[in-house]
Structure 1
Amino acid sequence: MSRHRDPFGPELALGTRTGLPDALRVLVESYPREGWQGHENFGELVRFWMDRHLMFRKITQALHDDALAVQAGDLDPRSHGNRLVRYGGMLVNELHNHHQIEDHHYFPQLIGLVPEIDRAFDLLETDHEAIDPMLHTLAGEMNAVLREGGSVGQLDEALLRFETLLDRHLTDEEEVVVPVILKSGFVG
């Protein structure tokens, strides 16, 4: 749980913000994304963590592509169901576990390493709290399709809304966490 329920107000809620506020972009200005991989502190932890984020993006895109294929008649419902169980379950379970590990293990260790942006971790934890019910809604849409009573089009709309918010969160999280690790040399 976040230390502060809504540390920034509704203008920076996950569904409304377009990026990190300037006060929390201090490190990403000093450590721009294009230089991350070449930095001496870009180690296995950062690489693994970024790969997890890439996996979440790829799964949501695959689920969207599958929904479009079903609607176009290019993917049969049985194959779609099998893929939906596999990838939909992976997305929901792995993303939930990923956020739990961040909130309870990594974020507490990163807080204080660069005190001027510690508030960013409150924002990220608040995002996690907002994403959790979205995951439940998405799981409900997937289950409705699997029970053959749900609309693939409705599932795809939910996926697109979720994908947009998830990408905003992942991008902002990367722009907080990676620069903290690069500056501090944190290795977990």
Structure 2
Amino acid sequence: MRSIDTGLDMDGDDLGSRSALPERFADLLARLPRSAWTNTRLAPMAEQWLAVHDWFRGTLGDMIEAGRVRAEGRCDDQAYGAYILPRLRQFIDHLELHHRLETESAFPELVTADPELESARALLDRDHVQLEERLLEIQAAAQAFNSSLLSDESSEAFAMQLIASVAQSERPLLRHLADEEDLVIPHLTLGNKKNISGA
């Protein structure tokens, strides 16, 4: 497996703090801006990529909403656990597989086809490392919560920790998904063309 440079030596790269892609990606973004996607026939692979990302967004949103329901006292810990634990397991398994396929296969293939994407690949790979750290924190919180449900100890504090861990993953994951789409969808649709007419 290819090693990943996790050094964040460029301003604006860190997933935890960036609010948009760094300026050095402006030329890549100009190929097919997101604002032009609705009037462009996207490649089938691009459509599939977006659909997978939409599933992650929707599932994460559902889990965060379930946490709000529990935090507001509209369900108990047993009901919250029955809902969140299997969905969280599926979400994490799917996200880890998705990222592994990207890092080991999809991204290298994109760079082979278009070497200008190398810097983008490096950024997205570093995102994956940071997101994996978040997923490990969520898994630990989920395991602690599940253990508390199976014991005689109070589970409320563990439920609240899991709710917080899931909610804290929203901003970095949504940032990563959006930035990855902005970098990858144009290439999947246009190939090595530099831009699309009218974009």
Given the two structures, how large is their TM-score scaled by the length of structure 2? 0.83
**Which position in structure 2 is the counterpart of 1:153?**
160
Q: CA deviation at 1:10?
A: 6.2
Q: Map of 1:1-188 to 2, 5 A cutoff? A: 1=2, 3-6=4-7, 8-9=9-10, 11-40=12-41, 42-148=42-148, 149=155, 150-184=157-191
Q: CA deviation at 1:6?
A: 2.3
User: Aligned to 1:20, what secondary structure does the other structure show?
Assistant: coil
Alpha-carbon separation, structure 1, partners of 2:26 and 2:59: 28
Alpha-carbon separation, structure 1, partners of 2:3 and 2:75: 42
Q: Which has the larger radius of gyration?
A: 2
Retained in 1: the 8 A contact 2:59–2:91? yes
Q: CA deviation at 1:125?
A: 0.5
**Aligned-residue RMSD, C-alpha:** 2.0
Alpha-carbon separation, structure 1, partners of 2:191 and 2:14: 28
Segments of structure 2 that go 5 or more residues without pairing to the other structure are 149-154, 193-199
Given the two structures, how large is their TM-score scaled by the length of structure 1? 0.88
Retained in 2: the 8 A contact 1:66–1:75? no
Number of residues paired by the alignment?
Answer: 184
Identity of aligned residues (%): 24
**Which position in structure 1 is the counterpart of 2:151?**
none
Range with greater deviation from structure 2 (50-59 or 23-32):
23-32
Q: CA deviation at 1:2?
A: 5.1
Alignment CA distance shift 1:87-1:10 (3 Å): farther
